Amino acid sequence: MRVRVVLRSVHGETVTRDMIEGNWADPVGDADLVLGENLWALPGLVDGHAHFAAETMAPRPGNLEDAITRARTALDAGVLLALDKGWGDLTVLDLVERVDPGDRPEIEAAGLIHAVEGGYIAEVCRIIDPGEVGPAMNQAAGEGRGWVKLIGDWPRKGIGPLPNFTEEQLGVAVRSASAAGARVAVHTMARDVPSMAVRAGVHSIEHGLFLQLEDLDDLGSRGGIWVPTVLNMEAVIRQLGEHSSGGRLITEGLANVARLLPEAVEAGVHILAGTDLAVGTHQVGQEAVRLAEMGLSPKHALRAVSYSGFEATGRPVAFEVDAAADAVMFDANPEEDLGVLAHPRHVIRRGRVVK
């Protein structure tokens, strides 16, 4: 059956494509079915900080069947790309290997999370010697799918968050991972570590509550990524208590995030919506709404949950001929109402109409 799809982007351009063997093609002849007329299309939703292996921070191994269910639920919701930032085991890599790509989002993934002794929850990471970070990242790059993950800082009792690695060690990590074909994502919620990570060349800043204005030009000039995970940070505040030392620190950090979001756009930073463990990947649209409330324009909040993720990972965003036939469509323009992201009318993955 020849299926034809009318793809009207949020920018107002409309293209018509046929789906042939899972790819977009120029329309030829008559179609048996036409989808998308009077709808608004995106190349897909993107979760820039997913954890398919778990749904809470409970320190236990991932469950493959649960991970598969989460991935398929995300696909049904229109998430067509997810950057999984690792766990204490390789569940997400098993997911990628066992599930046909047409039945899940495209997934780039770190395998294991890496930290130093006392520098993270031991049950959900691999403990490494910071002096051996280069070989560790080389191994991690071979285990993962395009990413490695480091915990850049972590609170110590009675002291607060401290760096796990020096700036020099972070640089070694970046060079080692890059040589092995992987990018580095660094968790950071402390004051000094985001700037250290940017200067070291880290590719993606996760949380990054205390990024500084001067970091943005460097990060943006090299196509760097920032995933603020606002909903998750607010969940951590509720967990710790808003008047606790940690709660106060994160609240201060979120005020800094709100101040920097428009500046990051101007600097060319790829800001991505990321769920972390606050909500499921299928609810990543909620993070886009929250980013808009924090100060991003609706246009750039929408980019954070769609176009920016594809651009940051080198994927087409314009429904190009011969590209994979992926799209998510809505009854209204999501740039004018981000709430519609929760209610896709159609989801197409590799030429299959999922919804």
Read off the CATH number of the domain in which 166 is found. Answer: 3.20.20.140
Rounded to 5°, the CA angle 207-342-9 comes to 90
Helices 213-221 and 245-267 cross at an angle (nearest 10°) of 50
121 and 176, same domain (yes or no): yes
Under 8 Å CB-to-CB from 174, ≥6 apart: which residues?
Answer: 184, 200, 201, 202, 203
The conformation of residue 319, written as its DSSP 8-state character, comes to -
Contact (Cβ atoms closer than 8 angstroms) between residue 104 and residue 71: yes
Tens digits of per-residue pLDDT, 68-85? 999 999 999 999 999 999
Question: CATH code at 34?
Answer: 2.30.40.10
**Domain interval for residue 251:** 45-312
Say whether both 141 and 29 belong to one domain: no
Same domain, 32 and 63: no
The pLDDT score that the predictor gives to residue 59 is: 84
My answer on whether 16 and 88 are in the same domain is no
| 202 & 308 share domain | yes
Residues 322 and 237 in one domain: no
124's tokens: 């959900």
On the 0-12 / 13-18 / 19+ scale of CB atoms within 10 A, 83 is: buried
Which of 295, 312, 329 is the last residue before a domain boundary? 312
Quick one: 205 and 231 in the same domain? yes
pLDDT digits (tens, 9 = 90+) for 169-193: 999 999 999 999 999 999 999 999 9
State whether 156 and 245 are in the same domain.
Answer: yes
**What mean pLDDT is predicted for residues 230-253?**
97
Question: Is 90 exceeded by the pLDDT of residue 197?
Answer: yes
Shared domain check, 237 and 117: yes
- What is the number of domains present in the chain? 2
Q: Please, are residues 46 and 284 in contact by the beta-carbon 8 Å criterion?
A: yes
- Residue-wise pLDDT for 318-348, tens only, equals 999 999 999 999 999 999 999 999 999 999 9
Both 31 and 177 in a single domain?
A: no
The per-residue pLDDT for 56 is 86
CA–CA distance, 182 with 169 (Å, rounded to integer)? 17
pLDDT at 1 over 90: no
Give the pLDDT score at 225: 98
- Same domain as 99, residue 179: yes
Residue 251 has phi, psi (to 5 degrees) of -60, -45
Number of continuous H segments (helices) and E segments (strands) in the chain: 11, 20
Q: Three-class SS of residue 85?
A: coil
248 plus 199 within the same structural domain: yes
